[in-house]
């Protein structure tokens, strides 16, 4: 074998080794890329699973909302009406405390109770302000009773129908409770911290919304169950009676002497004051009077001299 052929074989073997090494390197990269793609796909599958479950829960909730809302709407025609009744009365009575006591007793018989009470009282006037709760069906009976016992000056009664809002809120509350249970189920299946944190945030938000809706329904039930009467009872002032007795109003002799003495002292003081002010005025204007006197003397002297000249 010649030297040229040896070099050719060595070159061919070197090329073969280079190609094999390159294939091994590409295979390793492809393996790493495959592992990375598998991990990314698995993570995406988990996220898509939560997303799909979340969307599924939302879709189920929306469907239940539509179905429940439709059934509630259909049942509203036969459901109990939710009406809030309030009344305000301004009353006059010769005895405000007695009237309120009678009204309170009658209201208790009708199933009511006192909610708040204030009274201001002096020797001639009494004012009672109170808030009374009573079943709505008996509110008119209590108002009629008060009208018989006292004089109603002003009265006002209002009714607020909250039926639609009440049942809409109740439907939303039921749907939120079902949705909350679904999210709790998803929370049990969560595997990563991110999934748990995300689901817990949604659960906390829904729980807060449920508490708000429950508080609203509780307040409405209280207002619907018992009507509110605001009372203002004031004492009716009695007209003043005419005096039939004639009282002796003549002055006594001592009072007369006292008044006469004071009158004389007033006159004397008046004359003295006038005199004093005249002296003060003359003293203040004395320079003016001196000038006037000099001018008058000059005028009188010139006039007298002229008369003498005429006679001479």
69 inside domain: no
Give the other-Cβ count within 10 Å of 68's Cβ: 16
- What are the tens digits of pLDDT across the range 102-149? 999 999 999 999 999 998 887 667 899 999 999 999 999 999 998 888
312 inside domain: no
Domain count, the chain: 2
| Cα dist from 128 to 106, 199, 251, whole Å | 17, 56, 47
- What are the tens digits of pLDDT across the range 169-199? 999 999 999 999 999 999 888 889 998 999 9
Q: For residue 76, give the DSSP letter.
A: T
Q: Looking at 202, 235, 268, which one is the last position of a domain?
A: 235
Which has the closest alpha carbon to 134: 85, 190, 75, 188?
A: 85
Q: Is 283 left (phi over 0), alpha (psi -120 to 50) or beta?
A: alpha
Domain containing residue 105: 83-235
pTM of the model: 0.48
124 inside domain: yes
Residues 127 and 229 in one domain: yes
Q: Looking at 235, 263, 282, which one is the last position of a domain?
A: 235
- What are the tens digits of pLDDT across the range 1-49? 455 555 555 656 655 555 555 544 444 444 434 333 443 444 444 444 4
Residues 115 and 183 in one domain: yes
Residues 168 and 35 in one domain: no
Which has the closest alpha carbon to 136: 101, 119, 162, 111?
A: 111
Residues 231 and 102 in one domain: yes
| Cα dist from 37 to 81, 189, 237, whole Å | 62, 24, 95
Query: At residue 154, what are phi and psi to the nearest 5 degrees?
Result: -135, 145
Residues 142 and 230 in one domain: yes
118 inside domain: yes
Which has the closest alpha carbon to 54: 182, 191, 207, 204?
A: 182
Residues 150 and 30 in one domain: no
Residues 17 and 153 in one domain: no
Residues 131 and 230 in one domain: yes
47 inside domain: no
Greater model confidence, 192 or 73? 192
Q: Which pLDDT does position 74 carry in this prediction?
A: 42
Residues 32 and 98 in one domain: no
170 inside domain: yes
Under 8 Å between Cβ of 227 and 87: yes
Output the CA torsion sign for 28, 32, 34, 35: positive
Residues 10 and 107 in one domain: no
Residues 154 and 19 in one domain: no
Under 8 Å between Cβ of 187 and 199: yes
Q: Which pLDDT does position 97 carry in this prediction?
A: 86
Greater model confidence, 114 or 62? 114
150 inside domain: yes
272 inside domain: no
Q: Which pLDDT does position 121 carry in this prediction?
A: 80
- Please tell me the number of Cα atoms within 13 Å of 307 on its side-chain side: 6
Distance of CA 151 to the CA centre of its chain: 33
Query: At residue 247, what are phi and psi to the nearest 5 degrees?
Result: -90, 145
Residues 226 and 99 in one domain: yes
**pLDDT at position 292 over 50:** yes
**pLDDT at position 239 over 60:** no
């Amino acid at each position: 074998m010649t030297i040229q052929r040896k070099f050719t074989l060595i070159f061919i073997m070197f090329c073969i080794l280079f190609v094999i090494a390159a294939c091994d390197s590409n295979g390793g990269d492809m393996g790493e890329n495959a592992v990375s793609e598998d991990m990314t796909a698995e993570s995406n599958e988990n996220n898509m699973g939560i997303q799909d479950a979340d969307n599924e829960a939302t879709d189920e909730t929306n469907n239940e909302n539509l179905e429940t809302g439709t059934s509630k709407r259909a049942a509203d025609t036969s459901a109990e009406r939710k009406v809030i009744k309030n009344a305000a009365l301004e009353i006059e009575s010769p005895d405000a405390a007695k009237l309120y006591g009678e009204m309170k007793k009658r209201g208790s018989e009708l199933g009511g109770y006192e909610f708040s009470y204030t009274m201001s009282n002096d020797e001639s006037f009494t004012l009672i302000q109170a808030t009374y709760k009573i079943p709505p069906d008996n509110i008119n009976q209590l108002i009629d009773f008060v009208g018989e016992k006292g004089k109603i000056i002003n009265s006002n009664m209002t009714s607020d129908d909250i039926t639609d809002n009440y049942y809409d809120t109740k439907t939303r509350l039921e749907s939120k409770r079902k949705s909350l249970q679904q999210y709790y189920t998803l929370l049990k299946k969560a595997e990563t911290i991110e999934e748990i944190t995300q689901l817990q945030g949604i659960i906390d938000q829904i729980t807060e919304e449920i508490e708000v809706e429950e508080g609203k329904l509780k307040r409405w039930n209280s207002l619907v169950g018992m009507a509110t009467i605001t009372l203002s009872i004031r004492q009716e002032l009695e007209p003043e009676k005419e005096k039939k007795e004639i009282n002796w109003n003549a002055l006594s002799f001592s009072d007369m002497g006292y008044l006469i003495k004071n009158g004389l002292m007033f006159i004397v003081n008046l004359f003295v004051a006038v005199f004093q002010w005249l002296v003060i005025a003359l003293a203040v204007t004395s320079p003016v009077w001196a000038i006037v006197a000099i001018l008058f003397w000059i005028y009188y002297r010139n006039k007298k001299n002229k008369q003498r000249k005429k006679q001479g």
